[in-house]
Amino acid sequence: MYIGPYRFDLELRELIHTRSESVSSLKLSDIEYLVLHQLMQARGQVVSTESMCDKFQPKVVSFQDIATAVNNIKRFLGREHSAWIENVAKQGYLLHVKAKERPMLTCALSSISIKNYVLCLILGVLLIIFLAMNLRTTSDISLSMPDKVAIKGTNSILVPIYGLDEDKAKYHSRVKELALKIANCEQVKWQRIYVAPSNDGNKLEFVMNNFADDGKACLNLKVKNVGDDWHFIDDAWLKEAGICE
């Protein structure tokens, strides 16, 4: 569950800033957790302070306790996003709909240029293909070739990049589902789309370019806090991420 770039982790009872390069999280108290949970379940609707207090019965929780919890949450959200939780006078609190539920995108690399990154990635893939086609290998040497997945109805391809050999079996079905979702777009902006899932499944990295670009025009992005599946990838997300038009 997300509030903009902040993920509400139900199990850990934490509010986590997904755009922060360093770990940034708020450990929620019982009151803060319940208040935030109710606001997210009723996103776009006013939740009365009375109903929040009633959730704690027989424990007594005052209006001031609720106000303090909301202020603590808003303080963690910061000046840019605190306005997403609104105090509606004499009624309660409202979490605005524009605080959408989705993993957020961040820049994948900052230390090297995107052009150099794409060139290195493409050269690496071409080197693997060259070695596989031209070198004889002994029985104890194997090369893990990236599988190109054609995106139906387009001249685009999806190329998964795996850090470990066992990741191929783990993510193969998800990559094929992603290719089908991209195929449903009205127009795919890129001819080559590389996707690299992390071994722990918590992060996805994308690099996209076209055959004639030679790295001059490309897009790269990173998705943090992916979770157990890629359900968040839909038509709207693909457009927002710049993969489709």
| Band (101; pLDDT cuts 50, 70, 90) | very low
High-pLDDT (> 90) share of the chain, %: 16
Q: What is the mean pLDDT of residues 34-53?
A: 89
Q: Are 209 and 218 in contact (CB under 8 A)?
A: yes
pLDDT at 220 (0 to 100): 77
Rounded to 10 degrees, the C-alpha dihedral 147/148/151/155 comes to 180
DSSP single-letter state for residue 216: S
β-bridge mates for residue 95, sequence order: 85
pLDDT at 33 (0 to 100): 92
Most confident of 67-71, 116-120, 125-129, 143-147: 67-71
Point out the least confidently predicted range of 147-151, 169-173, 217-221. Answer: 217-221
Distance CA 128, CA 61 (A): 63
Task: Tell me how long the chain is.
Answer: 245
Q: What is the mean pLDDT of residues 225-242?
A: 82
Distance CA 8, CA 33 (A): 9
For 31-167, where are the E strands, in sequence order? 46-48, 85-88, 92-95, 105-106, 149-150, 157-160
| Band (242; pLDDT cuts 50, 70, 90) | confident
Q: Is the pLDDT of residue 77 over 80?
A: yes
| Band (98; pLDDT cuts 50, 70, 90) | low
